[in-house]
Structure 1
């Protein structure tokens, strides 16, 4: 449930036109769980040390904990001004997820009911907007390879973004003058902290893309999306990360089926391959009762080539696979409990690796091929 806690129009001067209604909404989610994982390394730098881990992960099983403010003002004639400020935090300690404060979203914009929405600031990429509805686990924070799929740049700073909704068709496009992503992978820090906007080096750390998504009332959905990121490890020498995606879904009765494909090619500035892979996924969601939903998904990454640095030898790592399952029971629209299980082969859970900057903390132990994780948790939305 989202709560409107302040209505500024009530305090506005009488001279303001009657149609100018302004509201600010406080919203968020807290998701906490207890998790068991086997064969996880103590760190990516110490793969010979580790074992089983039992404790509380800093991110929840289904959602990353967050809070935010969302505001809108009616400007009349079908026009509105809007803003969003959203901050992530670690539910188990209360610490900020990272800096800056509004690390998840921070943007302002205008929208028209017929023409669409134009927004400016830190936002999700068009690629994310086009693909997220086709995630079998609804982009679950645990046991879905979301960052592997979308890229480290699935949120970007300094972005201009257009979103148009035309009946069942959504069109989105964006351009970032400097993505603000600090790393290209876990071993490569980007020039200027990935912020870009360096005089004389316009292409450093920019990002752009677009997507088209159809979600019909007949239960059929489809999407195509593209994303380009130009990370610069050295000022004036950007590489290129290119992603192309296509996905589809079908709903019938209590079932939803999803499948999709994502192409990825990452290149250093000298055009040597950083990472080249094809990523496939398929899933089924079943609403067994109004309160109980279950999800089962399969993920596969065909890794064709990878390099640790721009001049190093090219490797062909083993292809990664994962099977994930979620059982989610809703006590109400705001509170649910869940059990989630993941099994990964030839890699860490959620395909955690240098390509994801080990964001999920599942580095694999040396010589180990399989990893199993089980998490039980509770989530409340407000």
Structure 2
């Protein structure tokens, strides 16, 4: 249960709350596990890993009733590593989310700050790695951002009300570069539908100068050098624009849910970023990704899941990544659970660096072979 904290006069930096309907919630999540990988840079590896199914975090969120069906709201959320106490998201204090906004009971919600994008908001919930699977098993490199690895700075976001189960929204991120209005800008839009056992989501996103605007949006990021380190698409970091179209859906029958996602990602006009190594100047590299997943609530406490993901790169280098994951989550209480997962990835073809493709599960050093396997056991606690 989340603890509701009413502001007291002793908290000098925050005004007291005068009304019961105005509140602030302190919340958080701790996720830690032990990981075994059969090949990480040529050697087997055992490590402790923080933020596996969900990123470890703590945050504050609050609302104020302004009357007339209008509320103000905010979220300030910090990510961290339980292993060593370091801040996540490149060392940003509020790297997960930081926004303020207004919510109207008749017009919808508008938010300003650092936020998730429309790809994560709408098709994102249908990916296994946003449900029961650790992020190691997300789409390779999270190349479509369906797993929400990268937040968006300087964002204005709109979210609609629900109209018979249909919702929609959009966002725009200002580049903030003097004299270059479109540099580093990001815009996106999406929609979702949920009615009974059926749920669907769809989004489109356009990212200018992605090496800086999307992959280089933390305080520790480089403003002139390479910010894309995953070899699955690091060879395309010099792209002028990245475009993503993603869709997802799920259908529930009793205790079983079958779902999936599809995304198309394009890195366009390569060689557009000065100072970044580039070949195939002016050309585009594309990826198709398709995931099929299944989960079954065996008992009120035990959830079982499995997923298969297929990624095909084309346009310049032809590469294929295939991966599977199976796992279980067992609830000890409403706030604490245990989980266990195994996953495997196989790569073939030529990757974005022009070298023979090797397996590279998210969060691990790439394998030295086309194959990589990982097993993890862990626990989560919410407060």
TM-score by length of 1: 0.80
Contact 1:8-1:22 at 8 Å conserved across structures: no
Structure 1 residues 8 and 124, CA, compared in 2 at 3 Å: closer, same or farther? farther
Contact 1:60-1:377 at 8 Å conserved across structures: no
Deviations 1:275-317 (A, max 9, x none): 3110000000100000000110011101114xxxxxxxx432x
SS at match of 1:133: helix
Structure-2 separation of matches of 1:171 and 1:210: 8
Alpha-carbon offset, residue 269 of structure 1 = 5.5
Structure 1 residues 297 and 153, CA, compared in 2 at 3 Å: closer, same or farther? closer
How many aligned positions are there?
A: 334
Q: Report what 1:138 is aligned to.
A: 130
Q: Report what 2:346 is aligned to.
A: 345
Contact 1:298-1:323 at 8 Å conserved across structures: yes
Structure 1 residues 353 and 89, CA, compared in 2 at 3 Å: closer, same or farther? farther
Structure-1 separation of matches of 2:286 and 2:2: 42
Q: Report what 1:377 is aligned to.
A: 378
Instruction: Establish whether residue 122 from structure 1 lines up as the match of residue 114 from structure 2.
Output: yes
Alpha-carbon offset, residue 93 of structure 1 = 1.0
Structure 1 residues 159 and 266, CA, compared in 2 at 3 Å: closer, same or farther? same
Which aligned segments of 4 or more residues in structure 1 are displaced greater than 3 angstroms? 16-21, 151-154, 232-238, 351-354, 358-361
Alpha-carbon offset, residue 66 of structure 1 = 0.6
Q: Report what 1:25 is aligned to.
A: 25
Match of residue 283, structure 1, among 290, 293, 297: 293
Structure-2 separation of matches of 1:82 and 1:8: 19
Q: Report what 2:161 is aligned to.
A: 165
SS at match of 2:128: coil
Q: Report what 1:102 is aligned to.
A: 94
Instruction: Establish whether residue 60 from structure 1 lines up as the match of residue 51 from structure 2.
Output: yes
Gap runs ≥5 in structure 1: 42-49, 179-196, 306-313
Alpha-carbon offset, residue 274 of structure 1 = 5.5
Instruction: Establish whether residue 150 from structure 1 lines up as the match of residue 145 from structure 2.
Output: yes
Q: Report what 2:366 is aligned to.
A: 364
Alpha-carbon offset, residue 63 of structure 1 = 1.2
Alpha-carbon offset, residue 154 of structure 1 = 3.9
SS at match of 1:380: strand
Contact 2:7-2:17 at 8 Å conserved across structures: no
Q: Report what 1:44 is aligned to.
A: none
SS at match of 1:319: strand
Alpha-carbon offset, residue 359 of structure 1 = 9.6
Deviations 1:38-71 (A, max 9, x none): 1111xxxxxxxx31001212x3331110111001
Q: Please give the residue correspondences for 1:225-240 in structure 2 after superposition, counting only pairs within 5 Å.
A: 225-231=203-209, 239-240=240-241
Contact 2:317-2:352 at 8 Å conserved across structures: no
Deviations 1:11-48 (A, max 9, x none): 9xxxx99878321111110001001001111xxxxxxx
Gap runs ≥5 in structure 2: 213-222, 225-237, 273-280, 355-359
Alpha-carbon offset, residue 352 of structure 1 = 12
Alpha-carbon offset, residue 232 of structure 1 = 6.5
Structure-2 separation of matches of 1:99 and 1:39: 28
Q: Report what 1:71 is aligned to.
A: 62
Structure-1 separation of matches of 2:239 and 2:344: 36
Contact 1:176-1:207 at 8 Å conserved across structures: yes
TM-score by length of 2: 0.80
Compare 229-238 and 24-33 and name the one that shifted more.
229-238
Structure-1 separation of matches of 2:2 and 2:24: 10
Contact 1:162-1:172 at 8 Å conserved across structures: yes
Contact 2:291-2:307 at 8 Å conserved across structures: yes
Structure 1 residues 52 and 233, CA, compared in 2 at 3 Å: closer, same or farther? closer
